[in-house]
Amino acid sequence: MVIKMRVFFISLFVLVFMSSSLIAQTPNLSGVSKNDLTMNTITTALPFLSITPDSRAGGMGEAGTALSPNSTSIYWNTSMLSFAKKKAEIGLSYVPWLRQLTNDIHLSYISGYYKINQKHAIGGSLRYFSLGEITFTDNSGNVIRNDKPSEYEIAGAYAFKLSEKLSVGLNGKFAYSNLTGGLVVGGVNTKAAVAGATDLSFTYFSENAKIGSLSGAYTFATTINNVGNKITYSENAKRDFIPMNLKMATSYRADLDRFNNVLLAFELQKLLVPTPPIYAKDGAIVSGKNNDVGVIAGMLQSFHDAPGVVAKDNNGNFIQNSDGSYQILKGSRLKEELTEINIATGLEYWYNNVFALRTGYFYENKNKGNRKYVNFGAGFKYNNLGIDMSYLISVSGKNSPLANTIRFTLRYTVGDAVDKSN
């Protein structure tokens, strides 16, 4: 037991060190320091699609892509459903949202899966996001009407096991967003936005992985989420990307003895959405690339379009080269690209598969949104019923709207998975 604990904590130290190195963020590239980079946040439409719905991952720094399968895997990583040990599960989650700002915004999420046999699994989910009550007024401040804007997403899921340790998953989604109720805003007719999207996921899972003499389970997973059409809320407005994401994750569950196990998860996340360029006063692009492009072009462009830092003279004007291009500080483009990678780490402890404690940390660079928070959570299972809760503490500032976020999840499982056909 002493040897097992020693090996586990050595492994834990290695992964935490990797996380810390990335959080310290990016190499010391010649010609630019971290203080030279400026705010350049990537924004998307339908941000509710990226809100973590469940309390388990919500208590582990939102590192949910490589966690063991459950009904919420449809959000995180559908391919993981191929390795589920239960025949079926249904889950219900509720998240009061932005409680620092208001008390009537919330996310509700219901999801479930069914294992057809050892190779095939199907599932579905419904996400509903209420933005509370909003009062619309005219230019004079007169009340036009009160409305309750809302958004929802319906998803269908399918997972297929390629081999004993490999699986793929595919989701099809429909999202609907009605923020104005068809109101005329500034003389422009508005409408609800509609998007169709898909998720693709891949998992390698080994239930007999060892670190030294310590037995456990190892998972590597990667997903591409929300690949879908751009949307708009009026006829002639520019269309916006939805939050397409790339996630790469790994986890290791260490079985310390018959009653105790600990799982460590580590995840990298990146938006597959173009970075806004830097513009001159006349509207010309000084650095970066035009971000008004198609979906596939935008996904590919997101890996190499960071504008970096444009050199300025003593008067604050951009410095031009003799050929008309602008001087970019050496290494600043690469450094900005690396700051677009978010980091999530989580730790979960189970006693006798009945009671769980969780914690985690999420990091986003200050120039890309500045979400930094610590999560805590707990879970309890009794027979087929499971209850989870998580709590978020922001460390990015006293006025963070995400501070004190609480999530609740209720799960119910049915039977053990049985192989009916190969």
Note whether residue 139 is domain-resident.
Answer: yes
Note whether residue 319 is domain-resident.
Answer: no
405: Cβ contacts below 8 Å, ≥ 6 apart: 58, 95, 96, 97, 99, 391, 392
Note whether residue 289 is domain-resident.
Answer: no
Note whether residue 310 is domain-resident.
Answer: no
Note whether residue 356 is domain-resident.
Answer: yes
| Beta strands in 314-419, from DSSP E residues, in sequence order | 341-351, 355-363, 372-382, 385-394, 406-416
Q: What is the dihedral of CA 408, 248, 153, 84, to 10 degrees?
A: -60
CB 368 within 8 A of CB 354: no
Residue 407: which of 385, 382, 388 has the closest Cα?
388
- 212: CATH: 2.40.160.40
Note whether residue 404 is domain-resident.
Answer: yes
Residue 133: which of 150, 118, 154 has the closest Cα?
150
For residue 266, give its domain range.
Answer: 2-275+342-416
H/E stretch holding 19 reads helix 2-24
Residue 349: which of 33, 111, 59 has the closest Cα?
59
pLDDT score for 211 = 83
> 419 vs 83, 85, 87, 90, 117, CA distance in Å?
12, 11, 10, 20, 5
Q: Can you give the pLDDT of all 422 residues of the chain as single tens digits?
A: 444 444 444 444 444 444 444 444 444 444 555 567 888 999 999 999 999 999 999 999 999 999 999 999 999 999 999 999 999 999 999 999 988 888 889 999 999 999 999 999 999 999 999 998 877 776 767 777 778 889 999 999 999 999 999 999 999 999 999 988 777 766 778 889 999 999 999 999 999 888 888 899 999 999 999 999 999 998 878 899 999 999 999 999 999 999 999 999 999 999 999 999 999 888 889 999 999 999 999 999 999 999 999 998 888 888 888 887 889 999 999 999 999 999 999 999 999 999 999 999 999 999 999 999 999 999 999 999 999 999 999 998 777 888 899 999 999 999 886 554 43
Number of domains forming the structure of the chain: 1
Note whether residue 245 is domain-resident.
Answer: yes
Structure tokens at 361: 């940390």
Note whether residue 421 is domain-resident.
Answer: no
CA atoms within 13 A on the CB side of 251: 30
